[in-house]
């Protein structure tokens, strides 16, 4: 039977360790609670009530390693333990750099409404763009004037250039450009998809467009999950390539909306998604931004600390980060930055209270 109770198992692949949280409501059960941890299942008994949940096949616990049992008001029962074997490595979320191939036909869809933006586009070249400060680096290394000072990297008709949070296409793509400014919007839902960066080049943001092979069957992803998946991908790829772990989330208006500090990218979350039965011993965590996958769900996640910066909040810290060369800026449409901030805030409240903050930062597990 599925566990009607709520549990959260936060696993670190690198250390093969886990934190188990069993959460109950405001009132403690009237009868003593007996928690049993087996290699492949969890069981909770209180009086005549017994609730159990089988763990996913890739998760196997070491019951003899259980330690640190404690009860935190408002949280539930906390318990630390180790795994018998490491879970399989996480698969990175959808990556443009790996999925976009030359000589193949692709269709570009608006992520918000699934309207077709570009139909049957084939590229001869799919190339990554250099980092944003590449020109400054050239000046440092060249003993003569920068030969690229007046050059811009714009794609030709059959090119696709990939940046950290965007890709560049030749404007031969049939997209609607508003007359008031350079914003490129979806014809159907008017969502901002990107911007015109030159008369013949359009920048599309990875959070706004889905690219799918022409011969494949298109499937949609709920927008909150898609946004946090794409942002998580950017954080993982950049932290691996550039050894940077602090990021500013900036809008297309130039404002900083969020400060993000990546703690780790090897987290595996296992959570019960049981019923809300009135006689349940425990209550659910209720993260609405995780896709439903049965009584017990499993998600790869990155753990981040974040600070909101809207309405001049944390302005001094944001200014310090913006001037720090160790902080990497990530640019998205301003509306998407606000969506991301809402997702982070609502998801943080789904965590046990004791796990929601670290120093002055708020904590979030972003699933992908």
* Strands laid side by side in the 49-54 sheet: 33-37, 41-46, 49-54
Q: Which residues of 285-309 are buried (b: 16+ CB within 10 A; e: fewer)?
A: bebebbeeeeebbbbbbbbbbbbbb
Taking a C-beta distance cutoff of 8 angstroms, is the pair 80, 74 a contact?
no
Q: Which residues of the chain does CATH 2.60.40.790 include?
A: 1-88
**What 3-state DSSP class applies to 97?**
helix
Average pLDDT over residues 97-121: 89
In angstroms, rounded to a whole number, what is the distance separating the alpha carbons of residues 67 and 12? 16
Percentage with pLDDT > 70 across the chain: 80
pLDDT above 50: residue 285: no
| Percent residues over pLDDT 90 in the chain | 42
Count Cα atoms within 13 angstroms, Cβ side, for 201: 15
Higher pLDDT, 28 or 183: 183
8 Å CB contact between 366 and 350: no
> Alpha-carbon distance 21 to 23, whole Å?
6
Q: Tens digits of per-residue pLDDT, 155-177? A: 998 999 999 899 999 986 444 55
CA 96 – CA 40 distance, rounded (Å):
36
Given a contact cutoff of 8 angstroms between Cβ atoms, the answer to whether 14 and 7 are in contact is no
Following DSSP, what letter does each residue of 228-271 receive, concatenated?
HHHHHHHHHHHHHHH---EEEEE-TTS-EEEEEEEEEEEEEEEE
Whether the per-residue pLDDT at 61 is higher than 90: the answer is yes
Which pLDDT band, with edges at 50, 70 and 90, does 53 fall under? confident
Are 48 and 58 in contact by the 8 Å Cβ rule? The answer is no
Instruction: Give me the torsion for CA of 347, 353, 357, 362, rounded to 10°.
Output: 20
**pLDDT (average), residues 46-63:** 86
pLDDT value of residue 180: 56
pLDDT at 292 over 60: no
334 vs 110: CA distance, rounded Å: 17
pLDDT of residue 322: 94
What is the residue whose two structure tokens read 């940046």?
163
Predicted local confidence at residue 352, as pLDDT: 81
The whole-number pLDDT of residue 111 equals 95
pTM of the model: 0.85
What Rg do the C-alpha atoms of the chain give, in angstroms?
23
* pLDDT band for position 280 (cuts 50, 70, 90): very low
CA distances from 106 to 5, 169, 222, 223, 345 (A): 45, 13, 21, 21, 35
Tens of pLDDT, residues 204-253: 999 999 999 888 787 888 999 899 889 998 999 899 888 899 999 999 99
Per-residue pLDDT tens over the stretch 323-357: 998 999 999 999 999 999 999 988 788 788 888 88
CATH of domain 1-88: 2.60.40.790
pLDDT tens for each residue of 24-37: 655 555 667 788 99
Which range, of 185-189, 291-295, 296-300, averages the lowest pLDDT?
291-295
Are 158 and 124 spatial neighbours (Cβ–Cβ below 8 Å)? Answer: yes
Residue with the bigger pLDDT between 53 and 31: it is 53
The model's confidence at residue 186, banded by pLDDT at 50, 70 and 90, is very high
- Would the pLDDT of 110 be above 80? yes
């Amino acid at each position: 039977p599925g566990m009607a109770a709520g549990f959260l198992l936060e696993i670190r692949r690198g250390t093969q360790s886990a934190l188990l949280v069993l959460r109950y409501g405001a009132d403690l059960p009237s009868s003593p609670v007996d928690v049993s941890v087996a290699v492949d299942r969890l069981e909770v008994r209180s009086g005549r009530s017994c609730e159990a949940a089988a763990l996913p096949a890739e998760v196997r616990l070491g019951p003899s390693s259980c330690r640190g049992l404690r009860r935190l008001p408002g949280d539930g029962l906390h318990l630390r333990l180790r795994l018998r074997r490491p879970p399989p490595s996480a698969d990175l979320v959808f990556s443009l750099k790996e999925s976009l191939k030359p000589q193949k036909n692709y269709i570009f869809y608006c992520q918000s409404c699934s309207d077709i933006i570009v139909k049957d586009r084939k590229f001869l070249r799919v190339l990554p763009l250099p980092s944003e400060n590449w020109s400054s680096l050239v000046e440092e290394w060249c003993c003569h004037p920068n030969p690229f000072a007046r050059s811009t990297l714009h794609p030709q008709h059959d090119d696709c250039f990939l940046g950290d949070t965007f890709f560049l296409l030749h404007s031969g793509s049939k997209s609607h450009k508003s007359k008031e400014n350079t914003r490129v919007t979806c014809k159907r839902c008017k969502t901002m998809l990107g911007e015109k960066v030159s008369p013949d080049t359009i920048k599309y943001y990875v959070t706004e467009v889905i690219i799918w092979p022409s011969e494949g069957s298109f499937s949609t992803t709920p927008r909150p999950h898609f946004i946090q998946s794409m942002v998580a991908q950017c954080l993982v790829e950049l932290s691996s390539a550039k050894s940077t772990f602090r990021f500013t989330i900036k809008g297309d208006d130039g404002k900083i909306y969020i400060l993000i500090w990546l703690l780790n990218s090897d987290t595996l979350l296992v959570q019960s998604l049981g019923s809300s039965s009135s006689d349940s011993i425990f209550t659910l965590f209720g993260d609405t931004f995780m896709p439903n996958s049965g009584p017990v769900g499993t998600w790869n996640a990155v753990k981040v600390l974040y600070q909101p910066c809207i309405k001049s909040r944390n302005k001094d810290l944001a200014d310090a980060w913006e001037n720090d060369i160790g902080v990497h800026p990530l640019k998205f449409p301003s509306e998407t930055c606000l969506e991301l901030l809402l997702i982070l805030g609502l998801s943080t409240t789904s965590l046990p209270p004791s796990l929601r903050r670290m120093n002055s930062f708020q904590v979030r597990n972003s699933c992908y």
